[in-house]
Structure 1
Amino acid sequence: MPRWGKALLLAMLCLPLMAQAKVQMLDRIVAVVNDGAIMASELDDRVATIAMQFQQKGQQLPPPAVMREQVLNRMVLERIQLQLADRAGIKVDDTSLNQALAGIARQNNMTLEQFADTIQSDGHDWGHFREQIRQEMVISRLQQRSVASRIHITDREVDRFLNSEMGKKMFQADFHLGHILVRVPPHASPDDIKQARAKAETLLKKLKDGADFSNLAVSESDGPKALDGGDLGWRPAAQWPSLFSDAAIDMKKGDISDLLRSGAGFHILKMIDRRGGTEKVVTQYKVRHILIKTDALTTAEQAHDRAQRLHDRIAKGELSFDKAAAEYSDDPGSAHSGGDLGWVSRGDMVPEFESMMLSTPQGQLSPVFETQFGWHFLEVEGKRDADMSEEYRRSQAMHALQKRRYEEALDDWIQEQRNDAYVDIRL
């Protein structure tokens, strides 16, 4: 064989190896999570998305290595929960997803088409955005099923809370808090705890010396909102975990708390803002609904179709709402009264129901939508501004206690799932 022929044959034999090497260079595993993997390309895409959000808000980006580590930790927790949801059979179909997206669009005074155009003009892929929202909905349903069902509040606890110092203050203030967490691992040794405390004390000193809280949270916090600058948003005083509310109740705008110790680690809070809760009037909505549940004999698709047929018959005037609720609704508490739920305030219902209630014009049927209880449609019959009554105070106290317990239990539950999972970080 001529010399050039041998060279050509050698090159041809090497082509598969070269192609394989090229593929390996294009992507690689950065984390193994149980029986799944997170690829470098997935991490790069998420980092790019979050970096764009930082730039749009005018916020300073953390160092690249810190950013990648924070984002990967968030993706690991998401992947663990999505795997749990898959094993539990928790899914979000296209109908529910479209309704959620339409609700987000309405809140921004847009149609769904306008909202999609806006997302794309901001540089995001609409299909990827849809799937991200779907995953968030799946995780939310998993958390509700796994955590919320464990929380039970008694009337005695409500009475005790309303008579407590915090209960008396719950209508007096809303807090907007920032949060930094230095996590202490489970079964930590004294040296681990000592190192975590030392790190937290160093961060606290930097903050007292004028360091930017948001930037420090992004780069150093182990909290769930680290990539949001530690911003936990607004919440009534009584709805914060008691560790936070007790520390924040006397803080002024801009104040930094002392170190707070919990089972999760060391916390630092910033009072971003606070506002008095002197309002004595609350907006309430008179609502009725029809619920169709799934069960051993009824699939989610069948329940949805059944609810849709009832919805369409009522909309055409073939069947009255009252009669349909009495005959077909699976909500025993309201079916006998024509689906009437009475006067409902914000916070009384699960998020999907509340969102649909707030976005449905008075006197019109909502679309069919899904919650953890099954498939619903509703009608808002009236709206009023009511004086804060004892009944409302009790419902708000109940909601505050549930939310406080839920936040505490959720953090513990997420850590339990993380500790029980097999995770191999290869960043």
Structure 2
Amino acid sequence: MIDRTLHAARRTLHARHTLLGLLAMAVLMLPAWSQAKVQMLDRIVAVVNDGAIMASELDERINTIALQFQEKGQQLPPPAVMREQVLDRMVLERLQLQLAERGGIKVDDASLNQALAGIARQNGMSLEDFAAALRQDGYDWPQFREQIREDMVISRLQQRSVASRIQVTDREVDRFLSSELGKQMFQEDFHLGHILVRVPAEASPEDVTQARSKAESIVKKLNDGGDFQQLAVAESDGPKALEGGDLGSRPAAQWPTLFAENAINLQKGEISEPLRSGAGFHILKMIDRKGGSEKVVTQYQVRHVLIKTDALTSAEQAHKQAIRLHDEIAAGERQFSDTAAEFSDDPGSARSGGELGWVNKGEMVPEFEDMMLNTPVGELSPVFESQFGWHFLRVDDVRDADMSAEFRRMQATQALQKRRFEEELETWVQEKRSESYVDIRL
């Protein structure tokens, strides 16, 4: 009797353990099943070479841009238009990030934090307050950080691929300054709106005719009172379509030649006729025009150390050496000038203890300029990378200088460089997209 009872108890206990085990397994499996179900609901909306853009990524970006529209009090475009415009931008970004990864272009946390601190200062905040303000406005701070990092990576790629090939000679600057167009262009700043009707790289005559007709139709709508921002969002293939086509304001001489030569005769509020370029048909709006730039400019007295890679020094070794030298200077174990003279791979400045003299905005590559502008006087910058190698710098002083003729010449050089860069960049982006495999699956 006792044996039978014990046997029954064991069977009951075994059954209970089995049931509890099955229940536990079911509970443990529920999250995985739920996650699998969520993943099944996600889908690919675009294939870019060997990468993919998921619907969830597209939705996140649309939500972020929708917040920006709401902050500006702008009307959201129709959902289908918004998805198409945002996805097109994401495809171009993903393509360039792939190229950057292949080229070994990265932005480390120190450089990213320095850039974010600069953005915060421009808004009159500390980095912590800036992050808190973004969170309060509904932005995801880690996602915002990574978006800025990706923007910096793309900028470095563009500088390496396009800007490094652009050269402006003294003779070209002289010719530009003496031309009537050059004289007029330094008198005003143009604030332009832009709509692009893209024409494919290998377009047929029928494609070109169709694009021209579309551009002419848009111009007619605008001249009949259509809203430029809404039409730009809905119809433009340009990089600033989602910003209502607003390209911002800059000195007239810095706009691409096609824009500058045609905008110079536009009055405030006027619309240009369709302008043909290799990318397609452009429509410009003169949002505003104001008097020319001031002759007083801010200059920075900078010194730096550059460590290059070569046949004997890998990128990792150069990076580690730059960090070691930087940290030894920061700890007071080395003098900056002695370190530059002994170790810097920039022969022009190494002989002067890394001294670059007084530097104006626009003279240095973007990575160097960003670090220069965001490093307080007397402090060491973090180690950062440019197309030339690994740097760190120190800003010794800042001053305002009246440059007069020298400033005018510098502005002319920068204007020609910027103009050519944007013309070359437009062609380069179009070429890279045509060379890539892109499959849109909206």
TM-score in terms of structure 2 length: 0.87
CA distance in 2, matches of 1:114, 1:143: 31
SS in 2 for 1:124: coil
Structure 1 contact 180–226 (Cα < 8 Å) conserved:
yes
Supply the AA of the counterpart residue of 2:423.
E
Aligned: 1:208 with 2:223: yes
CA offset digits 1:359-404 (Å, max 9, x no partner): 3333333333333322322222333332224433332222111111
Among 304, 310, 314, which residue is 2:329 paired with? 314
**In the superposition, relative to structure 1, how do residues 290 and 199 fare at CA in structure 2: closer, same or farther (>3 Å)?**
same
Equivalent pairs counted in the alignment come to: 412
CA distance in 1, matches of 2:374, 2:115: 11
- Structure 1 residue 326: deviation in Å? 1.1
- Structure 1 residue 105: deviation in Å? 2.2
For 2:269, the equivalent position in structure 1 comes to 254
**In the superposition, relative to structure 1, how do residues 364 and 38 fare at CA in structure 2: closer, same or farther (>3 Å)?**
closer
Supply the AA of the counterpart residue of 2:251.
P
For 2:202, the equivalent position in structure 1 comes to 187
For 1:4, the equivalent position in structure 2 comes to none
For 1:39, the equivalent position in structure 2 comes to 54
Name which one, 1 or 2, has greater alpha-carbon Rg.
2
Structure 2 contact 193–285 (Cα < 8 Å) conserved:
yes
**In the superposition, relative to structure 1, how do residues 398 and 340 fare at CA in structure 2: closer, same or farther (>3 Å)?**
same
For 2:4, the equivalent position in structure 1 comes to none
Supply the AA of the counterpart residue of 1:215.
Q
- Structure 1 residue 283: deviation in Å? 2.1
Which segment is superposed worse, 62-71 or 186-195? Answer: 186-195
Aligned: 1:51 with 2:66: yes
Structure 2 contact 111–382 (Cα < 8 Å) conserved:
no
CA offset digits 1:310-365 (Å, max 9, x no partner): 33433444333222211111111111112111111111112222222223333333
For 1:231, the equivalent position in structure 2 comes to 246
**In the superposition, relative to structure 1, how do residues 292 and 49 fare at CA in structure 2: closer, same or farther (>3 Å)?**
same
CA offset digits 1:111-155 (Å, max 9, x no partner): 322222222222122222222122111111111111112212222
SS in 2 for 1:334: helix
**In the superposition, relative to structure 1, how do residues 172 and 377 fare at CA in structure 2: closer, same or farther (>3 Å)?**
same
SS in 1 for 2:231: helix
CA distance in 2, matches of 1:373, 1:363: 24
Query: 1:142-291 counterparts in 2 under 5 A?
Result: 142-277=157-292, 279-291=294-306
Structure 1 contact 99–369 (Cα < 8 Å) conserved:
no
Among 360, 364, 373, which residue is 1:345 paired with? 360
Structure 1 contact 368–377 (Cα < 8 Å) conserved:
yes
For 2:426, the equivalent position in structure 1 comes to 411
CA distance in 2, matches of 1:90, 1:281: 36
Which segment is superposed worse, 74-83 or 294-303? Answer: 294-303
CA offset digits 1:1-33 (Å, max 9, x no partner): xxxxxxxxxxx9xx9xx9899456511111111
For 2:102, the equivalent position in structure 1 comes to 87
Structure 1 contact 223–230 (Cα < 8 Å) conserved:
yes
CA offset digits 1:251-285 (Å, max 9, x no partner): 22212112211121111111111211162322222
CA distance in 2, matches of 1:100, 1:116: 13
**In the superposition, relative to structure 1, how do residues 108 and 63 fare at CA in structure 2: closer, same or farther (>3 Å)?**
same
For 2:398, the equivalent position in structure 1 comes to 383
Identity of aligned residues (%): 75
Supply the AA of the counterpart residue of 1:102.
A
CA distance in 1, matches of 2:310, 2:348: 18
For 2:339, the equivalent position in structure 1 comes to 324
Which segments of 5 or more consecutive residues in structure 1 lack a partner in the other structure? 1-11
CA offset digits 1:42-101 (Å, max 9, x no partner): 111111111111111111100000000011111111111111112222222223222222
